[in-house]
Amino acid sequence: MRYIIGVDLGGTQLRAALADEQGQLYDEVRVRTAADEGSAAVIDQIVDCVVQVRAALPAGGALIGIGVGAPGPLDPFEGVVLDPPNIPGWNNVPLRAILAERCALPVELGNDANAAALGEWMFGAGRGRRNLVYLTVSTGIGGGVIADGRLLLGYRGSAAEVGLHIVDAASGSYWEELASGTALGRAAAECEG
C-alpha cells in the first residue's frame, strides 16, 4: 500500500500525519510552531515531525512523498513561501526544495486553505461535488475554491487568498488584519487595557 505524509504549517501550530491514499490516518503529531525563532527553526520542527510520523509506516508500505500546506502567499509552482503575514520572516523561503533534500522524499507545497479545500472535496463534505468554496479563520484567514472539479490557483497560486483582500480602502487594511484569530485576540487585549 502507498502512504503519504501531510504537513500543516500554521502560524500557531504545526501538524504532521501519516495517511494512506484513501485518507485513513495512521499517526499524527502536533507541536506549537516556533514562529518567533525564524524559518530555520520551524523547518527543523517540520523535519522532526516528519521523522516521528514516518516511524509509523506499516511494514511493506511505500512512502511516496510529503504534502505541505502552508500559509500564503506562496508560489506552489516554484515551491516557495513568499511572505505570509502570520509567520514573519519567511520571505522567499524555498520550502519544497529544502524539505525534499532533508527528508529525501518528493515534496509538494500548497496553500494551506487550498489543501484543506482539496481534503474536504476528496474525503469530506464536498465529496462528489463539482464545486466547493472553503474558508478558514484561524491564526490567519484563507480560502480555497474548487470550480468544475478543479482547484483554482491563479497567478502564483493566489486565486483564493481571501484573507489578503483589502477591505478598508482608506487604511489599506486587509481582511486578515481585521478579523483573523490573531486580530481578534489583539483587539480583545486592547479592550482590556
Residue 134's beta-bridge partner residues? Answer: 144
Above 90 in pLDDT, residue 166? no
pLDDT confidence of residue 176 = 82
Angle between helices 39-54 and 95-103 (to 10 degrees): 40
Least confidently predicted of 33-47, 59-73, 102-116, 129-143:
129-143
Cα–Cα–Cα angle for 155, 118, 181, nearest 5°?
80
**d(Cα 87, Cα 12) in Å, to the nearest integer?**
9
Sign of CA dihedral 176, 149, 64, 58: positive
Above 70 in pLDDT, residue 25? yes
Residue 47 has phi, psi (to 5 degrees) of: -60, -45
Q: What is the mean predicted confidence (pLDDT) over 162-170?
A: 86
Above 80 in pLDDT, residue 193? no
Q: What is the mean predicted confidence (pLDDT) over 169-184?
A: 85
Q: Which pLDDT tens digit goes with each residue over 46-86? A: 999 999 999 999 999 999 999 999 988 899 999 999 988 77
- Nearest CA among 32, 5, 26 for reference residue 16: 5
* Cβ atoms of 137 and 179 closer than 8 Å: yes
Above 70 in pLDDT, residue 130? yes
Peptide bond into 71 cis (omega under 30): no
Name the residue type at position 50: V
- CA distances to 59, 146, 148 from 56, rounded to whole Å, are 9, 32, 36
Whole-number percent of the chain with pLDDT over 90: 70
Name the residue type at position 112: D
Q: What is the mean predicted confidence (pLDDT) over 161-188?
A: 85
- CA distances to 20, 60, 77, 168 from 99, rounded to whole Å, are 20, 24, 15, 38
pLDDT confidence of residue 87 = 87
Cell, residue 2 = 502507498
- CA distances to 21, 56, 61, 114, 169 from 75, rounded to whole Å, are 25, 31, 31, 12, 26
Q: Which pLDDT tens digit goes with each residue over 28-43? A: 999 999 999 999 999 9
CA 140 to chain centroid: 11
